[in-house]
Structure formats: structure tokens, C-alpha cells
Structure 1
């Protein structure tokens, strides 16, 4: 078991990550909720069980820190139905390797009290390793493994070995950000007295880092009067300013804007290494004014494009939209009255066509009265047969034009 832990520690120490703004910071407090597993020495005859716990820590430097710990696990005997509650509480000293990196391995050792079912607590020494992976300056994931040693007690006391392995979150607060120190040039050797040599040039001063900045607007296009979100970030800058109309701002942040017209915003950030400028545009679209829908005018004689099957007066569904224009007009003009006129071509006897045109006119009249709730006395029906043609009955096209329905209404009635 000790050999395995040594390999884990060696592996963690060998991991290097790209240096980033995250890392272990001096003077920070931390809170770490953890979960994992707890495996007991075989002679204890206890099942491996889940463990939950918490760590409260403080970093004296970037490398050295201390953590208080509390763990709890509930397990069962492998030889009986007895159940046990395990509590572990104490502290550890931690040493971090590569504390300025995103991935920070560390080793730990400590001492804690170990209690099973409120029996007399036992002192337990532990050691092990862990690693923190910083996702941001203020949040990291962590993984740990510990070898826990303690005496069983009694006349035949022996050393017991337990193993705990956990994962969790590392949440630092307070402290200062890591500072990358410039490497000083080595001192020039003293010149020999003979012969005299030219003096060595002084070491170069650290080169200031050039600031960076980003500026975004979401959405990039809005309707006039609607808000958008302006967001910005900067690094290595001591002052930032947004124009037009906003002025000095923090190094990063966001705010709602409601420009009246198309606007080009500019973020300018300055620092020891110079300045950086970012730009973002927003388009402002005028609201669309919907023109009122014109009211249909049906006061002049209107021909309805309605056709019937031979010798039939039933209205086909495809003409319902055409008849809706008449119904809507009558509802919008309560004083309007009129007549539905039916017409035919000259095929067949006059008597037959007169009767057919009357039935068709009444079919249209009844449809409008029923479906649009129009008072019956406002609409009449008259069949004219072939007596009022609008085209020559000698051609098929002319006959089709003569087979029609006309709607004649007065609009000046109140």
C-alpha cells in the first residue's frame, strides 16, 4: 500500500501545466466539500463505504498551507449485522508543488481523532497526496488519497491501515494574486586590475506586459427602445474607458444599453505596457409600423367568383373566403343593405335557368346570413337567368363569365 501511495505522489509531482492566472495564492482561506470512499483494514471486518466531509484551510505561503478536516462514513460489519458510524476530525499540513500553475500537485500529512460508534477516540496519523485543477481564480477541482494509520487498542494492540480517497471542490477566498517576479540578471564579475576592462552593461529592466481588451454587444441588432448587453474584459490594465457616453469602467463588467441610433462603441484600456483598444457595433432598427388593413368596398356592383356544378346550387368550400369578404363588409357597415343576384348562360330553357339562378342566389344569401349573423331583412335574393349577360354566349369563355353571382349594396344607409 505504501509503495502504491509513493507512486501516486511521484506521478503527481511529475505533472506540469501551463502557467495561468489561476494557482495557489498566499494568505487565502479555503473551503472544500468532498466525497469519496473509505476502505478499512481487513482485520476490522468492515465494508468499504462512501465518505463525505469538508476541509477548511489557510495558505501561509503559496506552497505551505494547513487544513482542518472532518469526515463521516457509515459502514457494516462483514461478519454480523452490526452497523458503525465513523468520524474523523483533525488537521493536516500541505506542501504544494508548482503553486502558480493551473494544475497544482501537493503532499499532505496530519493527525486526527478517529471514532467508531462513539467509542473512545483513537489518535490516527495520515499522509498522502492530492492535486488541484483551477478552472478559475476562485474555483478548482481537487482529488486526494490518504493512508491512515492507528493502533487498534487492547492487550493485543496492532497497527491498522485504512485508505481514504476523495474528490471535491476547492473554493479559495481572500489572499493576493500570484505575482510573477522578474529574474534578475547575474552580477557581472569584477574586472581584473590589469589590463582594465570595459564595464558590464546594467541588467535589463523587466519589460511591461502589453494590456489586452475585448468588447462585445448582445444582441448586435435591436429594435429602437429595446435594451442590449454591453460586456467587456481586460488584462494587465490599470484604467479602462468606454465611449461614446459611458466613460471610465472597471477592468471587466457588463451593463444594459438602449441606444437611439446605430452606435460604434470603443473600449480603451491602458497599463504600464501601453494601451489596447476594442470595438463593437450595434444596429438600431426603427419599429415597423403596420398600416391598417383597408376595408373592402362592396357598394358598387361586385361580381363574386363563384361557380356551381351543372344544375346545382350547393356552394363549394373553396368559395368560402370569397363570401367572407361580403360578410365582413356587412358587419363593418351595419346600415348597408343589398341584393344577391344570380345569373346563368343560355344553355337550357329560360324557365329552367330562371329557377336555377334564383336557387343559387338564395344559396349564397342563406350562407352569408347563417355564417356571419346578418339580419335576413338586410339581404335579398333575385335570379335573372340568362337575361343579363356580360359576355357573348357563343363561346365557352363567355358562357363561364355569364354564370356568375353579383352583389349590389347601398352604403349610405345609417
Structure 2
């Protein structure tokens, strides 16, 4: 059964290789490769075979710049580790090679395929197995038509469930090498495209569309349409308003200012209820945040020092969250822009020994700032 399948596989491999060789080549610098090489097999210990040297012959057809289809025949002699039996071996397989982008004269590749191996003992019937192989290798360009090639592979027997591996080194000859087109002499350079070659251009960097003389220089007086002191051909911001100060590119000079708003809300003793009298101040914060869409606010809650520190910490958090709710629920500020944080009694701003100081410390505060740009006047 194994022998019959292997013979059928051999025919299929030959047919596939013949079909590939009859097809068209696609965007490659050569059409085929003939390789002669040597190598060594390292057999699975279950085979009871000594490692063996081999010679190989391969023919590859280039499908395109990256892919190649290759048929290979390998011949080797192997000795059994016990019994003194000598095996004549033959290995034939059809492989696909994928090449990576070359680095100088080196070009790595991966290879994999399907084939068969035949072990013919000197005193018995031949044994044939179906093999899968997978490996990596590299090619080195010796010249336009000659390459040095090496690869390492794993061979998996589908019949015996063994895993061999091998090393291969060979010399390849390339057929159908396409002649390289002769290099064209470089055209005279004209970097600014004014029709005057750089070698004689007395005014390099002329803007597109500007009329020049034989020396490459503008023949008309430069125009400054918006009167900002920068000629139109260099003005990146045409139609600048008359009173605005501009930079060397004709664009208004902008100044960055910081604007800010403070929030301060006081609470009754042991209370986290926001009194209506502070709604107007909270609305001012909401209006500020609506005007400057990128702003966020941290609402900071505080208490006086009466009561346990842990209780005051929780109370300050409730106070901060109460103000945050007014911002989000009453004035439609996005919840993702508001953060509430309680500090308890840890940050007093007044003396806790007086009623006035305690009132000042029972507070929620926040400060929001934003950067705005204004244009500088002349």
C-alpha cells in the first residue's frame, strides 16, 4: 500500500513540476535555477541508521519575484546500526520557496514541500515512505548567474512517524537572466522648475509660475497684495488683515494667554447640601467650561476639624460630589469632565478655633484655567 501511494505521489510531483515549467514567468530577474549540492542526513534514532552524506540535484522554476517551485533528487548510502545492512537511498520531492527581500548579496528564504524517500537494502525489498519537509535557507550571489545556497530542513515521515533533519549546501546556475537596462545619464537638474538649469541659475528657489530671465531670476517686481510686507510668492497667509503683525511667512503672530475662574462654596455644619445662594457661582463655572470645551475640573471638598477625621474625610467627599452633581445635572456639564475629591480636615485655610474660621474651612473649591490665542497687532 505504501509503495503504491508513493509511486503515485512520484508521478504527481513530476506532473506538477512539468506544469509549472510550462507556465509563464512573472516579474522576476531570471526564469529557472539548476542546483548541484552535497549535504548530510541525520536520521531519527528509531530508524537505527547511521547518519549519511548525500548528493543532490535540483531544478527550480521561478514563479515571480518572491516564489519559486523546485523539484529535487537526492542520492545517499546509509548503514544500519545493527546487522551490517547497507541501504541505497533516494529522496525526491517538490518544494515551494518563498524569498525575503535581499540584503546586499544575501537573500534568505523558507522552503517546504512534499515528497518520498526510498530505502533499498542490499538483501531485501525496497521500502518507500511519504515525506513532508520544512526548512530555512539563504542564497548568496556570486555573480549575475551563479549563486551559493545553503539550507537546513526537517523531514517528517507520514508512514513511520519519524523526524529526520538535514543540512544542504550547493551551487546554483541561473537560466533566463534578464539583461539589465543600461543606466541613463542623469538629466540636467532644475530644482525650482523655472526652465533654467541649476548650473547656470543665478536665482535658485524661484516659486512656481514666476516669469524668469535667462539667468533664472524674476523679471517682474514682486507683489504684496495684502500689504503685510511679505511678497505674495512667499506669503503663506494671503489677505491678512491690515492691523495684524505677521512673521516672515506673512502669517499673523499669535500670543497665548491663560484665563481662569475660581469656585468657592461653603456649607453648614455637618451638611453636604449645596445652598441655592451658590448656584449662580456654580453656573459661572459651567458657562466657562462650555466656552472652553477642552477644560476639566476637579472639585475639592474640605471640612473643619470638629468630629473624627475619618468622618470628616467622608463628609468632604460628599460635599465635593454634591457640587459635581449640580454641574452635571443642573447645568449639563459632561460627567467625564468633572472629578470630585475630598480632603477632609487636612487643608484648613482659616483658624478652626473660631466660628468664622470653621465656616471658611467648610468649603468646596475649584480652579479652572484655559489657554487662548490672540493675534498681535502692529
Query: Could you state the TM-score of these two structures normalised by the residue count of structure 2?
Result: 0.39
Higher helix share: 2
Structure possessing the higher radius of gyration over alpha carbons: 1
Query: Could you state the TM-score of these two structures normalised by the residue count of structure 1?
Result: 0.36
